Chain A
Amino acid sequence: MNYVIESLRQLMGLDPSKPGPEDRRPEVVTLMAEKRRDKLTREMLHAVEAGRAQAADRHKWRNRRWATLITVNLLFVVSYYLDVQLLEGAMTASRFVGFHLADLNSALQVMLAYQHLVLNLVIGTVTVFILWLLLGGRTFCSWACPYHLLAEWAEKLHLWLAKRKWARDIKFHRGGRTIFYLFFIILTLVSGYTLFETLSPTGILSRALIYGPGLALIWVLALLAFEVFVSRRAWCRYVCPIGVTYGLVGVLSPVRVQYRVQDCHHEGDCRAICLVPHVLDVTIRGRARAVTTDIGADCTRCGLCVDICPTNSLSFKVKGLDKVL
């Protein structure tokens, strides 16, 4: 229950709640006391991190994820070009070997704007809902969305420039995204047009890949430029309703990244690399309530933190699977 409330809070843009002294489990209190006693020296810390930096699986999840994302997007392209009925359509709606799939956010817009329920669309929406429920909600963002990949590369460039003070990182209030979300819903309902689809870099990029480029790509480039020079990962962090829609699904999903406080150095590598760093606030010293904490639903399950964590304190897990097996 706490997971759900905490996830919703974070999705809405509120700061993660801080535990008071009475919220911490006794085990955690003992653990933290031990940590204070056996201070890690800087050398020890560096040694762990250096070892980790050279580990062969340092980019394990990133590589798997990029491979998946590129495969999914190429499947669309290949299906069209070779005229095989594998994955027809685009990210917004498609057919996988004849079976309907519909992006939840696009389907939501069409339902709000058109105000009719068409059976095929309902089938596609329910299928995708179940699929992402099993796969982890915002997993869509980092494992399938074509914009995410470009934004990830733009982010690298941004960090490089920002280090040299050639780019800024203006922060906005994350609550803005919730307001945009409601605002897109209301505006779509009132106007009868699928307004967000015009802006959606996900739809634009997916169609451009499959059906050929167009002027709409200028909008995507403008968004990327904004993220490179003005504000890190701004679109996904502060605006995109697709992330919220899948985040809400992710509240119920059993696939999560789990944090174990035991070996954590609290040095913050994970928060520095994460697209939605607030979900990792629990890794700040003194924030953990229990020995293990599931990272909230705003997490895209990208695995960058899992890869980078020098102490293996973050790992993927499927809730309830350990009990089943």
Chain B
Amino acid sequence: MSPEQTKATSPRPALSPKRREQNRREFIRTSILGIGVLGATLAGLLPLAGQANARLRPPGAIKDRLQEQEFLAACIKCGQCVQVCPVEAIRLADLTDGVGVGTPFIQARDQACDFSCDGLQCVLACPTGALTHDINYPSQARMGLARLARPESCLAVRGQGFRGQARGADFSGLLRYEAVNRWLPIPVADHPYDLELCDLCLRQCPIEIRLAQCAAGTPPSGDANQCPPRSAIRLGAQAGGGALPLVLDGCVGCGVCEMICPVDPAAIVIDIDRVADAAQVG
């Protein structure tokens, strides 16, 4: 060690002009590389400005609604939530989401979360708490809030019934129909309806289904804690016939109503910037 130290303190031999020129060029090159890397890194923040990354997130996603910083920070982009979902509702965002790349989201119109896993499997799978373990039951989720965005096209509002496959024969989305199979979700296309007055949004609402099960004395998994405290949606009477879907404060924003709505585009959609108990957020 000691000869090392004496050597280190002795003055270095002067560099040749050629060597110095080489060093200078290397320094400039490396600086350019540095600027490139810095630019690429910061470019990841750009999509945040345009809110290209504002998406419906899986249940339990920690977020201050649109301000998703905490969620994006906590998610390690592993996709373990994707792997456990029985209806494959969760997908991972692409590079267009910038720093949101690899974070999970749900495209409700294509495949909503119908809680057919019962136990919030995605939340349980998440290693970092980006999907917070603070929630245990579907009714505690606050993903967004349903909104009747196009009342004029809503079949119930128009007083019309619905017959056939809710989203057509080619729709690949899945739902769990307890009457068909307690465990296995099946394609919506395999379960045609015949309704006097369309009430698909509340008929398939997982919260309403749970409420009905609890009212019948058979809570999901036999666990009374699974019973939602409040209703999510109901049909209100409407002067001049028909009925108006009313979203209530038990709505968790799971997106099943948006997925099942038979008109195109859906009359009812999920607002990701609102949740039941916090009503409007900036």
Contacts and interface: CB of A to CB of B under 8 A. Distances in A.
Given A176-B34, A193-B99, A207-B92, A80 B78 contact: no
A193 B45 contact: yes
The dominant DSSP class at the B interface is helix
Contact of B128 (A80, A110, A193, A197): A110
Interface in B54-99: 69-70, 72-80, 82-84, 91-92, 94-96, 98-99
Interface stretch (B36-44, B162-170, B205-213, B252-260): B36-44
Given A90-B78, A110-B74, A191 B45 contact: yes
A17 B129 CA distance: 45
Interface stretch (B23-31, B112-120, B230-238): B23-31
A121 B95 contact: no
Contacts of A211: 79, 82, 91-92
B149 interface: no
Interface stretch (A111-119, A131-139, A144-152): A111-119
Nearest to A106: B76
B30 A102 contact: no
Given A179-B34, A193-B99, A211-B92, A89 B80 contact: yes
B11 interface: no
B34 to A, nearest CB: 6
Interface string A18-31: 00101100000000
Given A88-B80, A110-B73, A114-B73, A20 B99 contact: no
A94 interface: yes
B10 to A, nearest CB: 10
Interface size class of B (residues with CB under 8 A): 35 or more
Nearest to B22: A171
B7 interface: yes
A20 B99 CA distance: 49
A89 B83 contact: yes
Given A172-B33, A197-B77, A198-B98, A114 B44 contact: no
Contact of B70 (A88, A103, A114, A196): A114
A22 B3 contact: yes
B101 interface: yes
B4 A93 contact: no
A216 B94 contact: yes
A194 interface: yes
B152 to A, nearest CB: 37
B110 to A, nearest CB: 15
Contacts of B40: 199
Question: When A and B form their complex, which 8 residue pairs have the shortest distance between CB atoms, in order from nearest?
Answer: A113-B73, A198-B44, A93-B78, A216-B95, A214-B94, A118-B129, A114-B73, A114-B74
7 contacts: A1-B1, A90-B78, A93-B128, A116-B129, A196-B41, A204-B95, A210-B79
